[in-house]
Amino acid sequence: MTTDSIVTQRQANLAERLRQYQDRLGDDRGLVVEGRLTRMVGLTLEAIGCRAAIGGQCDVVSSNGTHIEAEVVGFGEESLYLMPTGDIQGLEQGARVIPTGRVCEAVVGEQLLGRVIDGAGKPLDGLGTIHNDERRPLTGTSFNPLARTPIREPLDVGVRAINALLSVGRGQRLGLFAGSGVGKSVLLGMMTRYTNADVTVVALIGERGREVKEFVENILGKEGLKRAVVVAVPADNPPLRRMHGAMLATSIAESFREQGKHVLLLMDSLTRFAQAQREIALAIHEPPATKGYPPSVFAKMPQLVERAGNGDKGGGSITAFYTVLTEGDDQNDPIADAARAILDGHIVLSRRLADAGHYPAIDIEASISRAMNDVTSYSHQDAARSFKHLYSIYQQNRDLISVGAYEAGSDEQIDIAISAMPALSQFLRQDMNTRVTLEQSMQDLESLFPAEDVDDIEIPEGLNLPQTIEQ
C-alpha cells in the first residue's frame, strides 16, 4: 500500500468519524450520558453510569441488536433500577442504557372508538394503525375534590338486583368482589351491554388471554364495540405493562369525560393491577408490610381509583366498576379490604349461590351502595330495606328451616320470611340475556312492598308473590 493510499484511507476514516459525531449532534435527544447494564434479577434491570428520573424511559441496546424499552422504577446510590415493558429475550450484560428523556403517555381521542389496543396503545385488532396525535399524561391530572360534581343522578345498569337494592349513581365507583368462577365476568358483561353510557372503556388487566376475544365478540358484539374502547393486557405481559394498561384505560376515560360525555369504565381486575405493583416493588427490594404486599401497593390503588368519578363544572362523568378477586373467597384479603375502603360501594358475589345455580350470585346482605340514598326516593329506600330485612331473617334461620327444626307459628317475622322467600329469590334472579330497566326494577320492587300512596301497581307476570307479604 502506497503512502498516498494510506493517507486517503486515514482521511476517509476521519471523515466517517466526523459524520458519526455530526449525526449524534443532530439527534433530537441531544447528547446524553449512556450507562451500561450490570445486573438483572427476575425482570429488574440494574444500570450504572447514567441518570434518569422516576418514570423516565430508557432504551436498552445490546451488541447483538436486541433493543427493548424500560422505565425507571427506582434508584440506589449509583444504580438505576429499570423494569422492561416488553420481551427481554436476547438481552446481555454490558448492554447500553440510553435515557431518552421521555415519559410514558396515553394516546386518547375519538379514533380509539371501536378499537382493541394493548397497554402501550398499539392496536391488537388488525385494523391498521391508529392515527392520533392527541396525548395526555398516563398518570392523569388531579383536581380539587371540592370541584367534583356530587352524585345526584341514578344510573340504569340493566340488572334488577342492582337497580332496585344497590342503586348506582352516575359517577360512582363500585367493586365486584368474588372468587374465581363465581360469575363476575358475566355480570360485568351484562352491565357492559345494558348500562346507559355515551362511551364504554373496558380494561382487561392480567386476566386470561382467551377472554379478550370472547369478551369482544360474545359480550360487546359489533354494535357495542362501536362506542367502546378495549384495553387488553393479558397475564403474560410484564407487570409494568399491566399497570400501564390500567392507567391507559383510565386516561382514555378521562379524555372523554372532559368532552362532557358519560363514560362507563369497567376494569377486570383491580387485584391484578395491585399484584403487578407488588411484583415491581418486591423486585426493587421494597419490604413487604401486609401479607406480602409492600406499602406502595396501597398507595397506588387510590391514585388509580380516585381518577374516576364525576368531573367538575357539571361536565361529564366516569362511572367505574372494578372487579376484585378474593382469593379463597376471603373477604378480608388485604386488597379486598383496601378496595372496600376507597370505593363507593361493593357488590359481593357468593359461591354458595353460584353453586346453587342462582345467577347473578349477588349476596345482598354483604353488598352495599354508598350513593343509593342520594339517588333514590324515600319510598324506594323503604321498599329496599323491607326486602333486605325479610331476606336477612330467612338467611339467619336458614339452617333451622332446612332441617325442619323450626316450628311454624313460633315467630311471625320468620313465618312471613319463609312465605316470601320464593318471590324474593325469583326477584334476585335474572337471565344474562335479559335486560331489566331501572323503571321496571322499581315497579317490581314496589309490587313486592307497595308504598302507602301506591294502590294501583300491577303485579308483573313471572313473580310468584305470596299473599302474606306485609310492608
- Does residue 470 lie within any of the structural domains? no
Looking at the structure, tell me whether residues 186 and 309 fall in a common domain: yes
Domain that holds residue 76: 35-103
Q: Which of the four pLDDT bands, split at 50, 70 and 90, describes residue 93? A: confident
- Give the burial class of 426: count Cβ atoms within 10 A of its Cβ; 0-12 exposed, 13-18 middle, 19 or more buried: middle
E strands in 104-198:
105-107, 115-117, 135-137, 154-155, 168-169, 173-178
In angstroms, the CA 153 to CA 370 distance is 14
Please compute Rg for the chain using Cα positions.
28
Backbone angles phi and psi of 173, in degrees to 5: -120, 120
Which range among 20-34, 205-219, 432-446 has the greatest average pLDDT?
Answer: 432-446
Q: Are 310 and 149 in contact, with CB atoms under 8 Å apart?
A: yes
pLDDT at 303 over 60: yes
Among 44, 74, 103, identify where a domain stops.
103
Identify whether 366 is part of a domain: yes
Pair (90, 179) in one structural domain = no
Q: What is the mean pLDDT of the chain?
A: 86
Q: What does the pLDDT average to over 72-91?
A: 87
Q: Is residue 216 part of a domain?
A: yes
Same domain? 444 vs 351: no
Q: What is the pLDDT of residue 452?
A: 53
Residues 251 and 115 in one domain: yes
**Are residues 131 and 208 both part of a single domain?**
yes
- For 101, counting Cβ atoms within 10 Å of its Cβ (0-12 exposed, 13-18 middle, 19+ buried), the class is middle
| CB-facing half-sphere around the CA of 196: CA atoms within 13 A | 11
- The answer as to whether 471 is a domain residue is no
pLDDT tens readout for residues 31-64:
668 899 998 888 889 999 888 888 899 999 988 8
Dihedral sign for Cα atoms in the order 329, 334, 335, 341: positive
If you count them, how many residues does the chain have? 471
Q: Which residue has the higher pLDDT, 10 or 352?
A: 352
Q: How far apart are CA 199 and CA 203, in angstroms?
A: 13
Q: Between helices 334-342 and 295-305, what is the axis angle to 10°?
A: 40
Greater confidence (312 vs 283) lies with 283
pTM of the predicted model as reported, rounded to 2 decimal places? 0.84
Instruction: Using pLDDT thresholds of 50, 70 and 90, give the confidence band for residue 30.
Output: low
Q: Which residue has the cell 405493583?
A: 277
Query: How many structural domains comprise the chain?
Result: 3
**Residue that finishes a domain, picked among 321, 338, 372:** 372
Residue 252 and residue 146 share a domain: yes
Confidence of residue 395 (pLDDT cuts 50, 70, 90): very high
Statement: residue 124 has pLDDT above 70: yes
Q: Are residues 142 and 170 in the same domain?
A: yes
Q: Are residues 343 and 386 in the same domain?
A: no
140 and 225 in a single domain? The answer is yes
Let me know if residue 67 belongs to a domain. Answer: yes
From 330, 351, 372, the end of a domain falls on 372
* Spatial contact of 309 and 148, defined as CB atoms under 8 Å apart: yes
Tell me: do 291 and 325 sit in the same domain.
yes
Does residue 284 fall inside a structural domain? yes
Is the residue at 25 inside a domain?
no
Q: What is the CATH number of the domain that holds 256?
A: 3.40.50.12240
**Domain for residue 270, yes or no?**
yes
Burial of 449 (0-12, 13-18, 19+ CB in 10 A): buried
Is pLDDT at 468 greater than 60 in this prediction? no
> Are residues 144 and 198 located together in one domain of the fold?
yes
Q: Are residues 96 and 122 in the same domain?
A: no
Band (77; pLDDT cuts 50, 70, 90): confident
User: Is 70 exceeded by the pLDDT of residue 24?
Assistant: no
CATH code for position 65? 2.40.10.170
